[in-house]
């Protein structure tokens, strides 16, 4: 049986504590507790932070040639941190992962300073790797609708309820801008029947909740799946089920999208998450304001949402260059 996110986080945290000396382990335990209870980070984020700090401390111990204690951490020089980052770069780690790696170490450093355990100034003295700014690649309106249409996969040798299920999930991603984890995390009681409501409460990153509208056609697609599903959908259990009745895996949705990419001639960038990008880009293109789109997407910062303004501008310029007689 696959481990839950909470179990994976606990394993990562235990491994982190087991590899540290007594004083560092005590500091790490306090930091992990702060992440869980004060900052309310999700189990997946805590697992990633624990793994990153474990890797950081391990590489640092190799670089210094001894086991770490709190005084050694407080005495770090910027060159020591750069040596660890260089070691990660030599492993072929991408800049975005490097940035998260350093952010986790800095979080632990801030905890040490807050608790009076020493100030690890070297962590803030080193610049984070630059991440190339890439624009999201949304689907066209026609392609996004085709992906969420059960008829697109009508010829596949699959049970009808499976096709209804996949279409309903993809329709939620495009119609309401959900992350795939948010859609698959919905319980049966969360989804109103058509005509009995048009909003759902979504549990997003960091256990934050938000209210999201659901279009009537999407509700009807979910209802069609629920009626066709061979398993009893109890109110308190997951709405979307796998072939054996358990919670639906994100990988199954990704594979469904891959099959449709071939049939529709879509690029590799046409992933389930691209439907969320498409939702935001198309909404902005039809006059939606950034602040409202930020709330719908559950972005903590408006700057994260502003990237869709750049996508919309890029599409406008591409259309102008293709159609305007003096664009060349």
Which residues are tagged catalytic? 179, 205, 273, 276, 299, 308
CB 274 within 8 A of CB 139: yes
Residue 36 burial (CB count, 10 A): 16
Nearest residue to 219 (alpha-carbon basis) of 238, 199, 193: 193
Mapped onto helix, strand or coil, the DSSP state of residue 50 is helix
CB 147 within 8 A of CB 170: yes
The Cα-based distances of 120 to 30, 88, 321 in angstroms read 17, 20, 52
Phi-psi category of residue 179: left, alpha or beta, with phi > 0 → left and psi -120 to 50 → alpha: beta
CB 8 within 8 A of CB 42: no
Nearest residue to 119 (alpha-carbon basis) of 82, 71, 153, 152: 71
């Amino acid at each position: 049986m696959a481990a839950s996110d909470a179990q994976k986080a606990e394993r990562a945290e235990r491994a982190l504590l087991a590899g540290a000396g007594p004083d560092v382990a005590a500091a790490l335990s306090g930091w992990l507790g702060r992440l869980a209870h004060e900052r309310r980070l999700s189990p997946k984020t805590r697992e990633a932070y624990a793994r990153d700090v474990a890797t950081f401390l391990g590489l640092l111990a190799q670089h210094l040639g001894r086991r770490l204690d709190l005084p050694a951490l407080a005495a770090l020089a910027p060159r020591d941190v750069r040596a660890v980052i260089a070691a990660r770069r030599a492993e072929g780690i991408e800049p975005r992962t490097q940035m998260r790696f350093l952010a986790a170490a800095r979080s632990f450093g801030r905890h040490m300073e807050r608790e009076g355990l020493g100030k690890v100034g070297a962590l803030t003295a080193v610049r984070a790797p630059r991440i190339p700014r890439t624009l999201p690649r949304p689907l066209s309106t026609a392609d996004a609708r085709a992906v969420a249409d059960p008829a697109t996969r009508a010829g596949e040798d699959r049970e009808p309820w499976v096709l209804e299920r996949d279409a309903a999930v993809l329709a939620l991603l495009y119609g309401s801008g959900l992350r795939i984890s948010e859609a698959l995390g919905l319980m049966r009681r969360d989804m109103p029947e058509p005509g009995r409501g048009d909003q759902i409460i979504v549990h997003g990153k960091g256990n934050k909740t938000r209210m999201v509208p659901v279009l009537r056609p999407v509700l009807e697609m979910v209802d069609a799946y629920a009626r066709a599903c061979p398993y009893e959908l109890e109110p308190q259990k997951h709405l979307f089920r796998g072939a054996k009745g358990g919670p639906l895996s994100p990988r199954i949705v990704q594979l469904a999208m891959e099959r449709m990419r071939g049939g529709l001639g879509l690029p590799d960038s046409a992933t389930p998450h691209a439907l969320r990008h498409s939702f935001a880009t198309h909404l902005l293109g039809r006059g939606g304001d950034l602040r409202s789109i930020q709330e719908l997407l559950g972005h903590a910062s408006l700057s994260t949402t502003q990237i869709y303004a750049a996508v919309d501008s890029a599409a406008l310029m591409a259309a102008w260059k293709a159609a305007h007689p003096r664009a060349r």
